Amino acid sequence: MKKLFAALVCVPVLSCSALASAQVALYPSGPDQDAAFIRFVNATTEPLDVIGQAGQPPLRLETATPASLLFAVDSTKPLKGFLVSGTQKLELDLQVQPGEFATIVVVPQGTGIEQVAVRETPDDFNGLKASLAFVNVDKSCSDASLRPAGRSADLFKAVAVGSLQRRSINPVNLSVQLVCANANVGAPLELGDLKAGERYSVLLVPSATGPRLLSATDTVSH
């Protein structure tokens, strides 16, 4: 499973080259046969600190670079820690299954924050295509769709809150438009040139001004 994610190129929106040089492992990875993967996304308006195992410095996710890399973790043990944004603090306690990829999104909730875990077990790979996922963690858009900007055909349709869909697409330059309740919402998001054999995610997250889109590459930390 690691090989599918080892050679991905970063989308400029998230400045992934800076992330790759700055991020360190938050947890022990464990045996290869039990490897699982986790990443964190900051959808709040404040920097987010991810506090993992004792003795490790926190991983800070700024609002301009909201997504971490994917970290290999030991699937035989629960992951514990804290997610801290300003004066808000959430306890992290979950277990990721072998071969599973978990995305933990921290979103605004009233005057505080909450975390949403979305899990995926990838089983598709086509070296001639790009792989794109659409993740929905916005309760205000419970049947979200995503389509190429200026087009009427959906890439993803009726994605429920707390879930994702993934598909293979041609490696092209792509902008995507969010659709909620059959109406376009917000401006299109430019993803740039998608590369064959690489995997990407678009995340729908809530904000004070309404639903918004973030993009990330599914890149494993080394």
Q: Answer whether 85's CB lies under 8 Å from 107's CB.
A: no
How many angstroms separate the first and last alpha carbons of the chain?
Answer: 14
Q: Give the residue from 29, 48, 49 showing the smallest Cα distance to 37.
A: 29
Q: Give the residue from 206, 201, 212 showing the smallest Cα distance to 102.
A: 201
141-192 pLDDT, tens per residue? 999 999 999 999 999 999 999 999 999 999 999 999 999 999 999 999 999 9
- Spatial distance between the Cα atoms of 17 and 132, rounded to a whole number of angstroms: 20
Q: What is the mean pLDDT of residues 7-32?
A: 45
33-70 pLDDT, tens per residue? 667 999 999 999 999 999 987 777 899 999 999 999 99
What residues does each domain of the chain span?
Answer: 2-217
